[in-house]
Every structure is written in structure tokens, then in C-alpha cells.
Amino acid sequence: MKSFIKPLQGKTVLDVGCGNGYHSWRMLGMGAELVIGVDPSPLFIMQFQAVKHFLGDKNIFVLPLGIESVPDNLQA
């Protein structure tokens, strides 16, 4: 999968169906400037928030949305 999305340096990434954000964190680690994940599951949102609490304030967010709620003109 890595070879299809490289390079990520300086890019804004939308991770649809991100679950608890595992791959979002990996993309941030590969140099993405900002990662926004969307997933409607409250359990996954809370898991992500727990991890983010311990890893600190980074440019990574998970929103409690399904793909149908993402704006059409989102530039990610």
C-alpha cells in the first residue's frame, strides 16, 4: 500500500473508514502535514482519542462521520 500513496510529505490526507486511526498515524509518520480520518463508530473514536491523549497534540483528527457526511469540495 505504501508505494501507491507516496510521497506524503506536506500533504493533507483524508482517511475514510479510519477505524481507530492506526493507518492515519502511520501516514502522519510518513510525513503528511495533516491527517483527517472519518469513521462513524463511537468505539473507534474513543480509542483514537485515548491514543492521541498519550501521543500529544499532533495534526491528526478523527471525526465521527460517515462518508456520506463528508463535504464534496473537501480538498484532501
Omega into 64 within 30° of 0, i.e. cis? no
**DSSP sequence for 20-47:** TSHHHHHHHHTT-SEEEEE---HHHHHH
Average pLDDT, the chain: 91
Residue 48's CB is within 10 A of a number of other CB atoms, namely 22
Omega into 7 within 30° of 0, i.e. cis? yes
> Residue 64: what residue type?
P
pLDDT range class, residue 28, cuts 50, 70, 90: very high
pTM of the model: 0.86
